[in-house]
Amino acid sequence: MSEELPKVFWEIHNGLPREGPGDNQSTRKAYMLLKDLPKNPRILDIGCGPGMQTRQLAKLSKGQIVALDFHQPFLEQLKNSARKEGLLDRIKVVNGTMFNLNYEDNSFDLIWSEGAIFVIGFEKGLREWRRLLAPDGYVVVSEMSWLQPDLPDEAVEFMKQVYPVIKTVEENLDVAQKSGYRIIDSFVLPSKSWWDNYYNWIEAKLPAMKVKHKDNKDALQYIACEETEIEMFRNYSDYYGYVFYILQVN
Ligand SMILES: C[S@@+](CC[C@H](N)C(=O)[O-])C[C@H]1O[C@@H](n2cnc3c(N)ncnc32)[C@H](O)[C@@H]1O
């Protein structure tokens, strides 16, 4: 993912409640599994986007949260909604890149990243972020994963195009262990939360986008990719999805 994405991408994506699948109940479910957090945890939310999960973390914890993303309009959206909810004094919004996290070792008790570790890579992210965590600190990430052993050809072909490095849950758990974490738990994000906070919003925008960009081949091609992605999930959500991985420094 880069800031070089086509203009139509931002037209479709700006202003959504989330920038990827997720929901507040799942954020809460994952957070409640963290039994050894200090009373006022220091939290880093990487690739926070418009920050639905950041605000939920602020409500769940009494901690201070650094919310980091490289797309300023998402950060403005987060600031506005956090201000309205009286949460902004505990959320520090940072425009930065996950490829250059300028924090000292042991700076955080919890690193959170919903639907964003794929940008740096599941293994690379887990390995690089570990030094930022206090002893017994936690990482909670959601990552697209295969959910079943026998996969339909069409789903496999689609993933080869969009996310060829996708792994099974067991493979990701193995990667996490080899990267210096113990497994606290993992669970599949309900498919409903792909629709309610993400795909339904995108689908609603597409007809107008097609009209607006009717003479722009590249934009139409991009819109077709969004449609394919949504159609694939409609057909194959039993086979792939986002999985929450709840990990603790070993
Ligand atoms: C799929 S979205 C998830 C956003 C949010 N966590 C959510 O669940 O709604 C991925 C996010 O990562 C951000 N991102 C992409 N590349 C990044 C980078 N190099 N550094 C920081 N953030 C990045 C994007 O701007 C986007 O907000």
Q: Per-residue pLDDT tens for 234-249?
A: 999 999 999 999 999 9
Q: What are the sequence ranges of the domains in the chain?
A: 19-153+161-189+238-249
Q: Is 20 touching ligand 1 by the criterion CB < 6 Å? A: yes
The CATH code that applies to domain 19-153+161-189+238-249 is 3.40.50.150
Please give the distance of CA 52 from its chain centroid, rounded to a whole number. Answer: 11
Residues with Cβ within 8 Å of 32's Cβ and at least 6 positions away in sequence, in order, are 60
Contact indicator for 180, 202 with CB cutoff of 8 Å: no
What is the C-alpha separation between 236 and 184, in angstroms, rounded? Answer: 28
Q: What is the pLDDT of residues 91-104, one digit of tens each?
A: 999 999 999 999 99
Nearest ligand 1 atom to alpha carbon 2? 16
Q: What is the pLDDT of residues 158-193, one digit of tens each?
A: 999 999 999 999 999 999 999 999 999 999 999 999
**Confidence label for 113 from pLDDT (cuts 50, 70 and 90):** very high
Ligand 1 centre distance from Cα of residue 48 (Å): 6
**Confidence label for 1 from pLDDT (cuts 50, 70 and 90):** low
What is the C-alpha separation between 56 and 49, in angstroms, rounded? Answer: 13
Residue whose tokens read 């974490």? 181
So what's the pLDDT on residue 65? 98
| Dihedral angle of Cα 4, 92, 244, 36, to the nearest 10 degrees | 150
Question: What's the mean per-residue pLDDT of the chain?
Answer: 96
Residue 194: both structure tokens together: 């792909």
So what's the pLDDT on residue 5? 76
Residue 50: both structure tokens together: 């418009």
Taking the CB of residue 119, how many other CB atoms lie within 10 A of it? 17
Nearest ligand 1 atom to alpha carbon 198? 9
Residue 250: both structure tokens together: 């070993």
